[in-house]
Structure 1
């Protein structure tokens, strides 16, 4: 009943806006219907010896309404995400709401020729996607059907090739003063069977603040990021992990260069440092280095490079955490489509996130535009641990030896445009793992040395107001 009422209100409001204001302002109404059928046989983690492959279809249905006036903008995106067949005759409370707001924000324009003479100065508030650069640390994670969004306020500035954003967020569990409970104690770990984030962190931030700056020039762009996220402190009380007053603050700082040397050659590089404290209060000292080059010749592009994400020496006990966390980016884009690294399923000795050795990824990405409608991509990854790997968590002083190689992954994607707003995509990925990767993935102790995954995705992106 609640869901039907929400739908009715939304469509009524959308229709009213379209009828009343189309003549005086710019209105957009777009959508997306994306179905993805997947075959999983070791996607995310190595399969157990007796594991059987699974097949399922998930669907994202999204409706986007935008309204642009001279002094402000409003955007609302409602989406429904579900697995085909998951609905029962009586819906369990554990399933949660399947219809929810993906985005709902308003942006007020503070600059124009009569007031502040800059290209843009605005304040954007509400539920929104936050994306910068190549989505390494901050991205919308669009591959995931649910995608990623933040409840935040962002001050935005741009003028003559310069851009700067300042963002702020403050999360609460409720908006009432409950007797016996502090309204500022935030439980970032939900009671429902879900894992917040996509990097195995398992906890939402209490608050976050960031400053992003960029300068666009003739041959590329230089960017800088200062990001702080604060996590509610916890204590074990009566055997249960309980949030208490205070926060542990993590600080990430760094920058990137995106350059185009010529029409055929490009070069990108980035370096980020993470310090202060991790989410549980340990001293944090970690970093991420990456560089890649690209060469385009006609229809073919090749893109070799490497990623280095620091980690812990798992054969030694330490109070300092050297594991770099890629914040709220898009791991699926960078570290293999099999999603073995920095996704919801953590990697570390016996699957323990705090005992992660970090990652070194040597990659070469290749793309071939076979025609105006067909694009073929083939990526190759060679994975290594960035630090020593212990035999097991119960034997942390043991070592699997000096060899840190984790495995080789191959990713193949074919994307074909059927119509202007309809495309079909098929992919296949496989990883050939070493025994070192077996140690780093949980829970099964005896696993197969190969995982594979395939998908077929049909994507409709209609523009309901466009002229045919």
Structure 2
């Protein structure tokens, strides 16, 4: 939603919240300015003789947090733009409401959260806020939270509609119409924890007013942590109905091991997203839903939408990551990805069949400098070495050198506007 924003709106929020001094409360303001300069020469798509692109994009965000005993609220306004994307001397409203929610506790164990909010669970693998993208992702929904004796349970849901209507609920936007999820987490001992999740999302049937295709995703995440060693494993299955009307039978499997030996951290892992070869009776391609895929499948974002970006062939991602943190303020990481299709693809009228599943290898390097708690600097460079099979799913020339570089600054102070004590 795009809205016009003036300082008067912020002042109004402050005036509304300021009088609540009857109990302990805190009011924080968190402004953020995050410009990022990017050089793109093969980012998301193979180069094919074109010149590389250079630009600067920027997120400007203003977040107001209020907390008082059993009540919390957040209002987060943001403007996302590319430098120079508006004519001078022209008033173009572009501020959006990223978050606007209120949370209240029903007891010491139960609370309710309502409004526009981020849904982030299990390391962003299926539900994430995609914070790398300047606009990020949020949902208009309801969240019920329960906490007791080391067990955490969240139940969330959303129902989307384009506008207020008098009849029917036909939804034409390219979003889910209905979303519901249940997440449960339990720490079994000091080293081992487990979480279970079930996500159901429904999409409007194009030929009906009230009909909805429902997709169901469910599985487990295991996490083992002991001093220097960390082991992670995930297994998810996907069923229900695809937008094509076919039944879904797909799965996701993850295995990862990490070893920390200061100042180094080594991580090795594999992720398998099932796929399909051609016109099968069922859809076997796993969809990663509302994940932060930038975090898992290479920073050059060739696999943001895994079903579409692999021509339904699925993805096998083997990776090795090395992190180096010599001092608290400095960190450097290098990631290597080996990408392959889960299934070879059949030929179409425009695209060839594949006989070799290897798609290519990617190297991502990132240098981070934390100047202070308020200011951070980032420098990144990535290269993709594509195999010939990549041309079957991405336009361009696989033999061309593909690279992407970026520099980003994040300025984000946290300002305590007011702290109230109990009277």
State the TM-score bracket (shorter-chain normalisation). Answer: over 0.9
1:246 aligns to 2:211 (yes or no): yes
> 2:254–2:270: 8 Å Cα contact kept in structure 1?
yes
Distance 2:75 2:267 in 1: 36
Please tell me whether residue 233 in structure 1 is matched to residue 205 in structure 2: yes
Cα distance, 1:448 vs structure 2: 4.6
Q: Does residue 452 in structure 1 map to residue 389 in structure 2?
A: no
Q: Give ranges in structure 1 of 5+ residues lacking alignment.
A: 113-119, 189-202, 236-242, 349-354
Q: What pairs up with 1:47-446 in 2 under 5 angstroms?
A: 47-48=47-48, 50-89=49-88, 98-112=94-108, 120-177=109-166, 182-188=167-173, 203-216=174-187, 217-235=189-207, 244-260=209-225, 262-314=226-278, 317-343=279-305, 346-348=308-310, 355-390=311-346, 392-394=347-349, 399-401=353-355, 403-442=356-395, 444=396, 446=397
Structure-2 change in CA distance of 1:308 and 1:3 (3 Å): closer
Contact 1:384 1:406 in 2 (8 A): yes
Which whole-Å deviations, capped at 9, do the CAs of 1:446-468 have from their partners, x for residues lacking one? 5554311000000011112289x
* RMSD of aligned residue pairs (Cα, Å): 2.2
Relative contact order, CA 8 A, sep 6+: which one is greater? Answer: 2
For residues 149-190 of structure 1, the C-alpha deviation after alignment (integer angstroms, 9 at most, x for no partner) is 00010110011210001111000011132xxxx4300112xx
Task: Provide the aligned length of Structure 1 versus Structure 2.
Answer: 415
1:257-294 deviation per Cα after TM superposition (whole angstroms, max 9, x unaligned): 0111x211110000000001123322111100001000
Contact 2:390 2:398 in 1 (8 A): no
Q: Secondary structure at the match of 1:20?
A: coil
Compute the displacement of 1:18 (Å).
6.3
TM, length-normalised to structure 2: 0.93
Q: CA deviation at 1:90?
A: 7.8
Aligned-residue offset at 1:222: 0.3
Report the Cα distance in structure 1 between the residues aligned to 2:22 and 2:124, rounded to whole angstroms: 36
Answer whether contact 1:233 1:280 (CA < 8 A) is retained: no
Instruction: Decide whether aligned partners of structure 1 residues 81 and 344 sit closer, same or farther in structure 2, where only a CA change above 3 A counts.
Output: farther
Distance 1:309 1:40, change over 3 A: same
Give the C-alpha shift of residue 344 in structure 1: 9.0
Distance in 2 (CA, whole Å) between partners of 1:97 and 1:274 is 41
- Give the TM-score of the pair, scaled to structure 1: 0.84
Deviation at 1:22, TM superposition (A): 6.3
Task: Report the equivalent of 2:413.
Answer: 462
Q: How far apart, CA to CA, are the structure 2 residues paired with 1:279 and 1:34?
A: 37
Q: Does the residue aligned with 1:234 lie in a helix, a strand or coil?
A: coil
Q: Distance in 1 between matches of 2:30 and 2:117?
A: 17
Provide closer, same or farther for how the CA distance between residues 290 and 91 of structure 1 changes in structure 2, counting only shifts above 3 A. Answer: farther
Q: CA distance change for structure 1 residues 466 and 343 in 2, over 3 Å: closer, same or farther?
A: farther
CA contact (8 A) 2:114 2:143 kept: yes
Partners of 1:14 and 1:399 in 2: how far apart?
58
How far 1:417 sits from its partner (Å)?
Answer: 1.1
Taking the aligned partners of 2:22 and 2:409, their CA distance within structure 1 comes to 35
Report how far residue 30 of structure 1 moved.
1.1
What secondary structure is seen at the aligned counterpart in 1 of 2:63?
Answer: strand
Aligned counterpart, 1:13: 12
**Does the Cα contact within 8 Å between 1:233 and 1:281 map onto a contact in 2?**
no
CA distance in 1, matches of 2:211, 2:22: 52
Could you tell me which residue of structure 2 aligns to residue 199 of structure 1? none
**Alpha-carbon deviation of 1:61?**
0.8
Q: Is the 1:76–1:104 Cα contact (8 Å) retained in structure 2?
A: yes
Contact 1:434 1:449 in 2 (8 A): no
Find the residue that maps to 2:6 and give its secondary structure. Answer: helix
| Secondary structure of the structure 1 residue equivalent to 2:19 | helix
Cα distance change on mapping 1:269 and 1:381 into 2, 3 Å: same
Q: Which region of structure 1 is more displaced relative to structure 2, 376-385 or 243-252?
A: 243-252
